[in-house]
């Protein structure tokens, strides 16, 4: 029997977002309410499935439910893997009466979401993020994509989930490094929209980032409860932005703060760095850019770097990279326009530059190069 389902979060989205410990065991009634289908296809990876697929599979009829898994990692978020999954769905007999459950981190959310967006010209997907980063970022917003050799997320579609179901209890199974990676997006949400939320996250960081807090059942339960409240706050901030700009034509671009540099670093490191770690560095570099352009007060990048440090995340560019390489890699970013790369830049904690209504500003390569040079350890 499935667990009782508490109500969704009060956020301005076209689909419900659930966030409570034990939500994974209450998945079936949510799916039945928002995306009833004759078949259920669960898409996960070889790391997450052994940990969390069984309680999901047990809630659905075995004869019409199938688990599909791929190897873990950003390197699997490709058009080839998209093709393999869509072929596997066809071979299984999936049709328009199929609902996809994306069970995993951001890679699974993006890839399974893109499969759902394109299979039979679009079928329902329920996002079930299992990493902190996916809970506060990738699972909410309806953006789906795969990577190409030329950059991240260059091939994709907007496809809203039928629901997002978050169970903070699953974060117990995450390595400390991946929990910390998710904190980067929470810091970002405070910077772009809510100074009070930023301060609340800042106060919680020593507990959330500490490995010892997750090792004992009593302290882990307390941290999960605190984290659930902060996740709900992050989702509220992102939902408010997405509701104003569903297609990333204006305000939604503020969510890209830190990401242009982050994507360049990831590409230069061949995706061996966790996305959240790259975002942490990217926020510090892009805050430097804002200072150099006179948009932000001196020292903003230091305040962000201190938050990143408290989260146990890197704040300097790895020595293996070069400034020229990072700058060149930014030019493959999907936010480039008219030969110049546009950046979402902060004016301070809780306030972003409007860019005359575009919410991003074009920045010359030499300005970026100067900020990157200054950001090596």
Catalytic positions, please?
121, 143, 185, 238, 248, 252, 256, 259, 263, 275
Sign of CA dihedral 377, 334, 182, 229: positive
Closest CA to 72 of 103, 98, 99: 103
Q: Round to whole Å and give the CA distance between 61 and 312.
A: 43
Between the alpha carbon of residue 220 and those of residues 11, 171, 202, 224, 316, the distances in Å are 27, 10, 19, 6, 30
Instruction: Give the C-alpha separation, 187 to 199, whole Å.
Output: 9
Task: Residue 123: name the closest of 44, 36, 59 by CA.
Answer: 36
**Cα–Cα nearest to 127, from 186, 183, 43:** 43
Whether 349 and 307 have beta carbons less than 8 Å apart is answered as no
Cα angle 81, 86, 89; round to 5 = 125
Distance CA 41, CA 64 (A): 8
Contacts of 374 (CB under 8 A, 6+ apart): 288
150: three-class secondary structure by DSSP = coil
CA–CA–CA angle 189, 195, 196 (5° rounding): 105
Q: Is 245 exposed, middle or buried (0-12, 13-18, 19+ CB in 10 A)?
A: middle
- Distance in angstroms (rounded) separating the CA atoms of residues 97 and 240: 31
């Amino acid at each position: 029997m499935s667990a009782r389902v508490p109500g969704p979060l009060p956020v301005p989205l076209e689909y419900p977002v659930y966030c409570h410990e034990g939500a994974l065991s209450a998945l079936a009634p949510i799916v039945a309410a928002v995306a009833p289908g004759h078949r259920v296809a669960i898409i996960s990876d070889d790391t997450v499935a052994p940990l969390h697929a069984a309680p999901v599979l047990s809630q659905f009829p075995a004869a019409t439910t199938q688990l599909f898994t791929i190897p873990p990692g950003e390197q699997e978020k490709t058009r080839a893997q998209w093709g393999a999954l869509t072929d596997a769905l066809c071979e299984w007999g999936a049709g328009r009466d199929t609902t996809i459950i994306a069970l995993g981190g951001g890679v699974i959310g993006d890839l399974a979401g893109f499969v759902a967006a394109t299979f039979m010209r679009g079928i329902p997907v329920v996002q079930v993020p299992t990493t902190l980063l996916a809970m506060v970022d990738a699972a909410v917003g309806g953006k789906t994509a795969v990577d190409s050799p030329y950059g991240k997320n260059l091939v994709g579609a907007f496809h809203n989930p039928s629901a997002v179901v978050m169970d903070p209890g699953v974060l117990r199974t995450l390595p400390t490094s991946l929990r910390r990676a998710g904190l980067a997006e929470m810091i970002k949400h405070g910077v772009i929209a809510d100074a009070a939320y930023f301060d609340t996250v800042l106060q919680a960081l020593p507990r959330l980032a500490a490995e010892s807090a997750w090792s004992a059942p009593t302290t882990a339960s307390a941290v999960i409860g605190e984290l659930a409240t902060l996740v709900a706050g992050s989702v509220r901030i992102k939902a408010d932005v997405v509701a104003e700009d569903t297609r990333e034509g204006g305000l939604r671009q503020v969510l890209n703060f830190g990401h242009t540099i982050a994507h360049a670093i990831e590409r230069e490191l061949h995706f061996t760095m966790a996305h959240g770690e790259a975002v942490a560095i990217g926020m510090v570099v892009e805050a430097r850019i804002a200072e150099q352009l006179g948009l932000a007060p001196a020292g903003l990048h230091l305040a962000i770097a201190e938050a990143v440090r408290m989260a146990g995340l890197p704040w300097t560019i790895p020595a293996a990279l070069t400034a020229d390489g990072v700058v060149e890699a930014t030019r493959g970013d999907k936010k480039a326009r008219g030969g110049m790369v546009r950046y979402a830049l902060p004016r301070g904690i809780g306030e972003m530059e409007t860019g005359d209504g575009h919410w991003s500003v074009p920045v010359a390569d030499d300005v970026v190069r100067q900020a990157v040079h200054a950001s090596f350890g």
